[in-house]
Amino acid sequence: MKRSEINTILQAADDFIRSFGVPLPPFAHASPDVLRKEDNAWIRARRLGWDVTDYGLGRFAAQGLALFTLRNGTSVELSAGRGMVYAEKLLVVRRDQRAPMHTHRIKTEDIINRGGGRLIVELYPSTPDGDRDHDAPIRVMSDGIARTLAPGDKLSLAPGESVTLRPGDWHAFWAEGSDCLIGEISSVNDDDTDNVFDPPLPRFPTVTEDAAPWRLLVSDYPHIRD
């Protein structure tokens, strides 16, 4: 992805989140120079902030996602079962824009439609080997109600509705009708190691630096030396 395209996507995502009256923390508005400073090392270490991906496909409008991570623990805390063992994100999903089929090795997450159109979630269970199972039903919790669906069935979530997805629950999602603001509450998030895509895809884009960054991406942080 071109940095200029990423800048435009982030500015639009920021405006979209603001349109719902959702205030973001100060580091959401920090310039790249500010986020590079040593006193922001904790923010960078936990990958808090802006994130954009086209999954390496070069078709962001069709398959892509803009995200903002508000808080995130660490694998050490999660393994210890104490401390910050949780994460929170906001996702901007444009109408008919698809997040491709994937599951997580460790993360359990609640996906919440915070407003806009309907959120459509396509679901499959896993085989004993962890592959996507096209034959067995899948059982998920949706706002306290157990739902059993055939493989490939689509759960339609209106604003305010949610679904809990556990490791091995394969899912793809998109917005129907109009753009959606999605909330994600989960256990610790590790986008470097915890995502499994079907078919395999990269989680982060390759960035072509044709412009200065408006905001840093979480995928920029590893390139910063403290």
How many whole angstroms separate alpha carbon 142 and alpha carbon 182? 15
Nearest to 2 by CA among 212, 201, 221, 203: 212
- Per-residue pLDDT 10s for the chain (226 aa) are 999 999 999 999 999 999 999 999 999 999 999 999 999 999 999 999 999 999 999 999 999 999 999 999 999 999 999 999 999 999 999 999 999 999 999 999 999 999 999 999 999 999 999 999 999 999 999 999 999 999 999 999 999 999 999 999 999 999 999 999 999 999 999 999 999 999 999 999 999 999 999 999 999 999 997 5
Question: Is-above-0.85 flag for pTM?
Answer: yes
Name the CATH superfamily housing domain 3-219.
Answer: Jelly Rolls (2.60.120.10)
Q: Where are the alpha helices (DSSP H) in 31-187?
A: 32-35, 41-45, 75-80
Residue with tokens 């435009």: 8
